[in-house]
Structure formats: C-alpha cells, structure tokens
Structure 1
C-alpha cells in the first residue's frame, strides 16, 4: 500500500458513500456532504482493513491505469453502509424536527 492507493481510496470513497446510501433501505435524513465524507472514511478504513486482514480476490477492474480489487471494494461498501446507517440513526435521535403527538 502506498500513498497513491490511499489517495485513490479517498476519491473513490465519494462514490462508495453514495453507493452505500443507495444500498441502505429506507430514507436517510443526512446530507450529501456527510454521505461523501462517510464514504471517504469507509474507503480509507476498508483499504486499511483489507490490507491488514489480507482480504483480496482474483477479480479486478482497471480505471485510468489503476487496478481495483472487488473484495476490497466490498469491504469498503460494507463499512460505508454501516457508517451511513449510524449517521442516519444519530441524526434521527438528535433531530429537533420531531412531530409532537
């Protein structure tokens, strides 16, 4: 893992955050910017975790000369889904826009 791998993970993380939000069922009351930031953090965490736990597959794809591993992408999306779900729960728990009965 070199610095370029982590930079690519941050850039790719924006897409991962949006994908995680699409995969998560129901409506999430968090904005686009927090979603993208969660995706970036998940991409970094997923890259680190995959490297530490040696999670890799033989299935790869290439974008502009950089090769990505599908197993690592799966770990990243999984972490992003959990992150978006936690953020949505926290926003709902601390929201002041509750309907009064």
Structure 2
C-alpha cells in the first residue's frame, strides 16, 4: 500500500461513516473518530463483498459497491452506538 491509498482509504472511510451516521435515525452517542473508524471498516468490508459477488468495476463510481459500504456503515454505527449506550 502506498501513502496515497492509505490517505484515500481514510478519506473515503470518513465520508462513508458520516453518511452512515446521517442516515441512522436518532442521536448516536459516539464520537467522530469512532465514526471514521467504522466507516473505514465498512468501506473495506463492502469492497470485499462486492468483489466476491462479482460487481463489475467501472471507470466511474461503483454505485452498487458504494451502497453496500453505506449500508454496512449504518449497521456498524448503530451497533457501536448501541454497545456504547449499554455500557453506560
């Protein structure tokens, strides 16, 4: 991995995490750093699932892969917020 791909993964993960957090109804009691981490993990898992399912890679935006990543981010943010809420 190059430094550009690492920075790209962080930026994409931050965007995916933020979109997932915005789509989840209600207030989430997690910070932005944790949201970014969840977004990075969701982006990586979503990409892996898309590759396994054989979603074609295009020159533009891979919308199916992006939807998978956002759905995983919504689930991830919800799970992390629920786990954090149950600890308090």
Q: Same fold (TM over 0.5)?
A: yes
Q: Shorter-chain TM-score: what band?
A: 0.7 to 0.9
**What are the within-5 Å matches in structure 2 for residues 24-63 of structure 1?**
24-56=24-56
Q: Structure 1 stretches (4+) deviating beyond 4 angstroms?
A: none
Between Structure 1 and Structure 2, the one with more helix by share is 2
CA distance in 1, matches of 2:30, 2:65: 25
Report the TM-score, using the length of structure 2 for normalisation: 0.84
Out of 44, 53, 72, the residue aligned to residue 65 of structure 2 is: 72
Consecutive unaligned residues in structure 1, runs of 5 or more = 61-65, 96-101
CA distance in 2, matches of 1:67, 1:10: 20
Equivalent residue for 1:19? Answer: 19
Give the structure, 1 or 2, with the largest relative contact order (CA under 8 Å, sep 6 or more). 2
**Higher radius of gyration, 1 or 2:** 1
> How far 1:11 sits from its partner (Å)?
2.8
> How far 1:55 sits from its partner (Å)?
2.9
Point out the more displaced range, 47-56 or 8-17.
8-17
Counterpart secondary structure, 2:19: helix
CA distance in 2, matches of 1:52, 1:68: 18
Consecutive unaligned residues in structure 2, runs of 5 or more = none
Q: CA RMSD in A?
A: 2.0
1:62-81 CA-partner distances (Å, limit 9, x unpaired)? xxxx7320110000001110
How many residues align? The count is 84
